[in-house]
C-alpha cells in the first residue's frame, strides 16, 4: 500500500503546483503611446509602475510600450487610463487638456 500512496502524493503535489502557477499568468502586450523624448519615456514608464505591472519598456522610435501585467490585479483599460493621466495619448484613451498641460515641454 505504501507504493501506491507515494506516486499519488507526487501527482497531487504536481497538480497543485501547476494550478497555482496558472492562476498568476501574466499577459504581454504592446500599446501605442504618444511620446517624443527621453523625459516622455521616463514619465510613461513611471505611470505604469504600479501593482500588477511586472514589466514596462517604452520605445521612442516606434512609440510602443511593451508591457507585461497580471490581469487579476490591473486591467488593460486601467493601464491606458494611467498613461493618459500622465499626459500621454494612447489609441484607446486621450489625455485631458489639464494632464497634457502638466507635461514638461520637450
Please state, in angstroms and rounded to a whole number, the distance separating the CA atoms of residues 20 and 1. 29
Each residue's pLDDT tens digit, 13-72: 455 544 444 556 899 999 999 999 999 999 999 999 999 999 999 999 999 999 999 999
For the chain, the three-class secondary structure string (H helix, E strand, C coil) is: CHHHHHHHHHHHHHHHHHHHHHHCCCEEEEEEECCCCHHHHHHHHHHCCCCCEEEEEEECCCCEEEEEECCCCCCHHHHHHHHHHCCCCECCCCCCHHHHHCCCCC
Each residue's pLDDT tens digit, 84-97: 999 999 999 999 99
Please state, in angstroms and rounded to a whole number, the distance separating the CA atoms of residues 50 and 19. 25
CB contact at 8 A, 54 and 70: yes
Check residue 37 and give its pLDDT: 95
CB contact at 8 A, 9 and 16: no
Amino acid at each position: 500500500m505504501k507504493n501506491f500512496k507515494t506516486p499519488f502524493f507526487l501527482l497531487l503535489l504536481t497538480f497543485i503546483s501547476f494550478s497555482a502557477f496558472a492562476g498568476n499568468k501574466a499577459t504581454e502586450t504592446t500599446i501605442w503611446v504618444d511620446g517624443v523624448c527621453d523625459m516622455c519615456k521616463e514619465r510613461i514608464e513611471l505611470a505604469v509602475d504600479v501593482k500588477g505591472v511586472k514589466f514596462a519598456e517604452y520605445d521612442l522610435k516606434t512609440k510602443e510600450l511593451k508591457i507585461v501585467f497580471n490581469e487579476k490585479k490591473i486591467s488593460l483599460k486601467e493601464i491606458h487610463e494611467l498613461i493618459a493621466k500622465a499626459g500621454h495619448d494612447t489609441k484607446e484613451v486621450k489625455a485631458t487638456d489639464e494632464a497634457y498641460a502638466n507635461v514638461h515641454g520637450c
